[in-house]
Structure 1
Amino acid sequence: MTATDTSDQTVIANFALKVDNINHPPTLQNAIADQIAKQDTAFSFTFDDNTFIDVDADDSLSYSATLQDGSNLPNWLKFNAATRTFSGTPTNADVVNLTIEVQAKDNDGVSATDTFALAVEPNNGTPTFKLSKIADDIFKISNSSSKSKLQVTLTGQSSNLVNELGVFTVDDAQGNINGIAPGAAGYAQAALDRAKVIFSAIANLPNGFNTDNLTHLLEFNSGDNFRFYLVKNSTTDAVRTGVTSFTDILFSDPLTQKITDLGNDDFSLAWKDGSGNNAADFNNLVVKIQSTNDSLPLGTNLQANPQGEVIDLRGVTSQVKADFIVNREAAFNNFIGFYQVADENGGIDTNSDGKADILTGQAGYTEAAVRGRVAGIDLTVNNQGSATSTGTFQPDSIFVPFIITNGTPDALLDSNPNNDPAVYFPFLGANTDKVDHIRLLGNNVFGFEDLASGGDKDFNDMIVRVNMTIA
């Protein structure tokens, strides 16, 4: 700056002028429109890049999204901040109205927000159900109107082992369970804690036993993810009780399982268990899996559960007619009967008060079961023969099969303890040897082993198929 007086004398002074850059916050320019998503239909929505603006030339905006209350978006709905896109497929359980808050933040952390409504509407048309493979060996099942049902059908068996197939839910497409990754310590136990038994496939078929239509329907929540496993020549129950080692569990992986997409959301699972001359082939156990909207067959509600080889007629209000088909491959003349229990654990009500008075493993359990067996259901058959029989189950109860090996109820219930035959149940605690003697071979199909300590583990000594209808 220069100053001059009347004598033309001047003085010059310098000073600095600093102009500070002021950050302008981002602002909402175009409100996000409300959206609608349909149940079981893929949803995708991208909001415009001019929804928020920032007049500062050097600023860039980053985006985030939550529910209006600050909580996370529901599991089905994902937000890609880089593309400003919401996507996902809601199920029946996700039908609800959401308010979503989107935040745009500049380089200095100053932000602007907008909210929009997302209505998830139900599918009121024909129910839809779907099975999809979401990772190498992980499947997802959904149903638009109710619980999801998985149908598993035996299509092949070449092993000389009697393997049991099972399934368990996982938390994500990586197969994690409560933060435990597949193969990590504790994973096998975590899987068994969630496991559902599908069925066993026997190696030596008795004459007349038809393996066609050996299926099992299992129920899942819509949106569940799951993996499969196989127990070599043993059962899930045996692993749980320590009779069989965890090393005998084969979890699905490319070395043990081959998955084939059959189209129409159907898949084939083919297992290799390392047995016999065909150890290199994936044909030791082969099943077809598919989603279905069919109801669970009568009596099968508990048959995926631990020690669940029972007939559950709770909730049924009328008598049930039962048609039995019996096959045998055994030297022993065995007897099969059914008895009523008070609860899922096998307790027997002896005084008709609806409560268990004798528990599995307690003194007198075997006698109480055989003495209280269902009248008129006395199943026997000649070796390598087939027999049919008809009986009646009372409604609103659980009925349990048992096998008397090479004997009859009279021999057990008479006054001579020296001629008592062995009796075995689905409940391991009720068996004197504490091992499996009854396996599930399909919906309401039971295979029996008549030798102590598991014998030859062929579970074909007696096979009973029960077809039930409301009387």
Structure 2
Amino acid sequence: MATTVFINEFHYDNSGADVGEFIEIAGPAGTDLTSWKLVLYNGGSGGIYDSIPLSGTITNQSNGFGTLSFSRAGIQNGPTDGFALVDPSGKVVQFLSYEGSLTATSGSAVGMVSMDIGVSESTPPPAGQSLQLTGSGNTYEDFTWSGPKTETPGGLNGGQTFVSAPLPVINLATTQASAAEAGPVLGIFTITRTGSTAAALTVAYTINAASTATSGEDFVPLPGSIEIPAGQASATIIVTPIDDDRPEGNELLFLTLANNSAYSLDSHGSGAAIAIADNDPIVKNSFFFTEDRILSIQSAAPTRLKALVTGKADSQIGEIIAISVDDAQGSIDGLLPGDTGYAAKAQENAQLLLAVLADQEFGFLTQENVLTVAGGQFLQFALLSGGSLDDLRRGGSVEMLFATSEVNPDGQSALQTTSIDLQTIDLAFRFPRGGFGDVNLRLTLGDFEMALGSQLQGKSSESEIIDLTGIGAPVVNVTMDVYREAAFDNSVGFYLIEDMQGRVRDPLTNNLLEPGEAGYVQAALANRVGVTVTGRNDQVTRYSAQIAAGHLLTTFLVVGGTVEDLLDDNANNNPMIYFNHISANSDGIDHVRTLGANLFGYEDLAGGGDRDFNDVIVQVNIASI
């Protein structure tokens, strides 16, 4: 192995009385010589006659190398005297002699035979000269002893050129690849370097995004760097699994070395993985929230998630959205919570769970919804205030607080959770200027039936839509429970649409009309189905009808008037009409919210008014015949 810290120059004899005796050490800049030593040996007995403790750190005198000189009077004049350079671990790095070789009989070099350097001061030179290495390189083996010549203690020798050493190459490997919660059984990574071990080297690493194990949740957090001590070529990273009670299956921890100017990476060994075995059996249809407030669905197949509003303590309306994310940390397409662009990505992946009314006077309502979720799916949650998901996607000013704290301006989570059992968790949300419990929700996992007709609601923008396609019967029974709390005698109805975008077919021309296009209002009303309901203030009124299946339906609100007022020949008595699809509304504002499965709330004031969405509330119940 190449010697990177070495004896570079020394002087032991001169004409007249000996003066200025010294030994110089050379090595890579940054090498700390504390705890190194020079052991001086007598050639006659092979025993130790002196020892020089070393100290100080080598500075960069040329191309990453330098020297330190140590004075010591009384260095013996030979023949066959020598000295050993010993590192902090007690290892003899060099055992050199002059005027012949010797065998050490004691000390660190006991039993070793010295190497005669081949030059000497046996004919004493004038004071101010020394024996020294010359040549070009960066290890002892690159140079040749010469002299006596003019001494340069603590500086570069005449005729000596240090060449920059190649960067150490760092390798990461797994030396104990199987860890386990039970025990726990530790996992071990080993980081190894090439080249000089004279100085300590700090190596950085990261947890690769391919990891399924979560720091602080599945294993004790790692510092992200490790020091390979001076004198050592490797160091180990110990992975300690956390024995939790969550059934999550076996997981992988994948580390990747980080680039650094102090070293280069082994192209075939810059990443390694450890498997952490779980000791909790997976229960079918179970779920839990991770440390980052991400809901992890534990199921081998798609299942259903029911959300039920259990309490409301704030005077503003809010929308709760569920966001499909890629992993337990909540990342989306490589973006972690808090990264630039994360909130925009979350909007793209969001699904409306339900809107929560502003007060609790509607005790007769059950605000609940059911979503289909995939086995192994991860969900992020957020609470919207000051607007809806539709408003947000249209560029409106809407406040959004996430369950994961890193995304929020105040750095605090919007969610507290309480696990009831493996299939039930209570959620407490907070508004931006509120407290936990502003909105309370209970999530339950199970094989729930979705309300007939509700399967498209919340899955896209403007999705207050009833889906009657795919129903075996030609006709369905519909009941509508209507509650009204408004100064206007409003009317609510439903009409046929051709697609999720709300296009209608004009019965006169057979053309498809977009929301907001000329003639849309008349075409929509011409396609209405069932009954148009009005209700009475402060009470629930039930309406019943039979409607043909096989179509998509959406809703409209006529404010302070009737459909007939809109369709007659008198343009002066036309009331305002608002639709689910915002482009069809004259004020460009959302006037309908999904409060639950087939449960819709309406706002009757132009421009959004007080945005309470309780002027009319309609619960639609559908049963096939």
Report the TM-score when normalising by structure 2: 0.54
> 1:356: Cα distance to partner?
6.7
Looking at structure 1, the residues matched to 472 and 516 of structure 2 have their Cα atoms a distance apart, in angstroms, of 31
Determine whether 1:423 maps to 2:581: no
> 1:201: Cα distance to partner?
1.1
Letter in 2 for 1:134: T
Q: Which residue of 1 aligns with 2:563?
A: 409
Q: Which residue of 1 aligns with 2:487?
A: 331
Q: Which residue of 1 aligns with 2:400?
A: 249
Letter in 2 for 1:371: A
Determine whether 1:144 maps to 2:300: yes
Larger Rg: 2
SS of equivalent residue, structure 2 residue 524 = helix
> 1:274: Cα distance to partner?
4.5
Deviations 1:264-287 (A, max 9, x none): 331111112155xxx3x3111010
Q: Which residue of 1 aligns with 2:288?
A: 132
> 1:177: Cα distance to partner?
0.9
SS of equivalent residue, structure 1 residue 128 = coil
Q: Which residue of 1 aligns with 2:515?
A: 360
Determine whether 1:258 maps to 2:411: no
Q: Which residue of 2 aligns with 1:315?
A: 470
What is the percent sequence identity of the aligned residues?
A: 30
Pair 1:110–1:396, CA change in 2 (3 A): closer
Deviations 1:187-235 (A, max 9, x none): 11100000000111112466x6513x32111122221101100111310
> 1:76: Cα distance to partner?
7.4
SS of equivalent residue, structure 1 residue 217 = strand
> 1:295: Cα distance to partner?
3.0
The answer on whether the counterparts of 1:77 and 1:88 sit within 8 Å (CA) in structure 2 is no
Determine whether 1:187 maps to 2:342: yes
> 1:372: Cα distance to partner?
1.7
Looking at structure 2, the residues matched to 374 and 221 of structure 1 have their Cα atoms a distance apart, in angstroms, of 35
Looking at structure 2, the residues matched to 303 and 393 of structure 1 have their Cα atoms a distance apart, in angstroms, of 19
Pair 1:371–1:131, CA change in 2 (3 A): same
Q: Which residue of 2 aligns with 1:388?
A: 542
Equivalent residues in 2 for 1:188-227, closer than 5 Å: 188-204=343-359, 210-211=364-365, 213-227=366-380
* Stretch deviating more after TM superposition (406-415 or 377-386): 377-386
Pair 1:294–1:335, CA change in 2 (3 A): same
The answer on whether the counterparts of 2:314 and 2:359 sit within 8 Å (CA) in structure 1 is no
> 1:395: Cα distance to partner?
1.2
Deviations 1:80-138 (A, max 9, x none): 9999x9x9749xxxxxxxxxxxxxxxxx9999xxxxxxxxxxxxxxx931222233310
Letter in 2 for 1:438: V
> 1:77: Cα distance to partner?
10
Looking at structure 1, the residues matched to 396 and 559 of structure 2 have their Cα atoms a distance apart, in angstroms, of 22
Deviations 1:14-53 (A, max 9, x none): xxxxxxxxxxxxxxxxxxxxxxxxxxxx9xxx9xxxxxxx
Q: Which residue of 2 aligns with 1:102?
A: none
Q: Which residue of 2 aligns with 1:341?
A: 497
The answer on whether the counterparts of 1:180 and 1:186 sit within 8 Å (CA) in structure 2 is yes
Looking at structure 2, the residues matched to 356 and 261 of structure 1 have their Cα atoms a distance apart, in angstroms, of 53
Looking at structure 2, the residues matched to 251 and 418 of structure 1 have their Cα atoms a distance apart, in angstroms, of 47
Letter in 2 for 1:268: D
Deviations 1:367-412 (A, max 9, x none): 111122114x121112212200101221111111111001101110
The answer on whether the counterparts of 1:243 and 1:435 sit within 8 Å (CA) in structure 2 is no
> 1:299: Cα distance to partner?
0.6
The answer on whether the counterparts of 2:587 and 2:607 sit within 8 Å (CA) in structure 1 is yes
Looking at structure 2, the residues matched to 234 and 359 of structure 1 have their Cα atoms a distance apart, in angstroms, of 24
The answer on whether the counterparts of 1:152 and 1:215 sit within 8 Å (CA) in structure 2 is yes
Q: Which residue of 2 aligns with 1:240?
A: 393
SS of equivalent residue, structure 1 residue 369 = helix
Pair 1:267–1:328, CA change in 2 (3 A): same
The answer on whether the counterparts of 2:383 and 2:414 sit within 8 Å (CA) in structure 1 is no
Letter in 2 for 1:462: V
The answer on whether the counterparts of 1:169 and 1:224 sit within 8 Å (CA) in structure 2 is yes
The answer on whether the counterparts of 1:77 and 1:89 sit within 8 Å (CA) in structure 2 is no
Q: Which residue of 1 aligns with 2:319?
A: 164
The answer on whether the counterparts of 1:371 and 1:413 sit within 8 Å (CA) in structure 2 is no
The answer on whether the counterparts of 2:479 and 2:544 sit within 8 Å (CA) in structure 1 is yes
The answer on whether the counterparts of 1:142 and 1:221 sit within 8 Å (CA) in structure 2 is no
> 1:159: Cα distance to partner?
0.9
> 1:255: Cα distance to partner?
4.3
> 1:338: Cα distance to partner?
0.5
> 1:337: Cα distance to partner?
0.5
1:228 to 381, 385, 390: 381
Deviations 1:421-448 (A, max 9, x none): 1111111111111111000111110000
Looking at structure 1, the residues matched to 504 and 429 of structure 2 have their Cα atoms a distance apart, in angstroms, of 39
> 1:418: Cα distance to partner?
2.0
Runs (4+) of structure 1 exceeding 2 A deviation are 74-78, 80-83, 87-90, 108-111, 142-145, 253-256, 349-353
Looking at structure 2, the residues matched to 283 and 142 of structure 1 have their Cα atoms a distance apart, in angstroms, of 27
Looking at structure 1, the residues matched to 333 and 469 of structure 2 have their Cα atoms a distance apart, in angstroms, of 33
Looking at structure 2, the residues matched to 345 and 110 of structure 1 have their Cα atoms a distance apart, in angstroms, of 52
> 1:154: Cα distance to partner?
0.1
Q: Which residue of 2 aligns with 1:441?
A: 595
> 1:451: Cα distance to partner?
0.6
SS of equivalent residue, structure 2 residue 462 = coil
Looking at structure 2, the residues matched to 363 and 109 of structure 1 have their Cα atoms a distance apart, in angstroms, of 64
SS of equivalent residue, structure 2 residue 383 = strand
The answer on whether the counterparts of 2:483 and 2:540 sit within 8 Å (CA) in structure 1 is yes
> 1:257: Cα distance to partner?
1.9
How many residue pairs align between the two structures? 369
Deviations 1:171-199 (A, max 9, x none): 11211111112122111110000000011
> 1:342: Cα distance to partner?
0.7
Looking at structure 1, the residues matched to 541 and 212 of structure 2 have their Cα atoms a distance apart, in angstroms, of 52
Equivalent residues in 2 for 1:71-110, closer than 5 Å: 89=249
Q: Which residue of 2 aligns with 1:267?
A: 425
* Root mean square deviation of aligned Cα: 3.8
Query: Greater RCO between the two (CA within 8 Å, min separation 6)?
Result: 1
Q: Which residue of 2 aligns with 1:58?
A: none
Looking at structure 2, the residues matched to 75 and 222 of structure 1 have their Cα atoms a distance apart, in angstroms, of 19
SS of equivalent residue, structure 1 residue 332 = coil
SS of equivalent residue, structure 2 residue 564 = helix
> 1:300: Cα distance to partner?
0.9
Equivalent residues in 2 for 1:288-307, closer than 5 Å: 288-305=442-459, 306-307=461-462
SS of equivalent residue, structure 2 residue 512 = coil
Looking at structure 1, the residues matched to 611 and 432 of structure 2 have their Cα atoms a distance apart, in angstroms, of 18
Looking at structure 1, the residues matched to 551 and 211 of structure 2 have their Cα atoms a distance apart, in angstroms, of 39
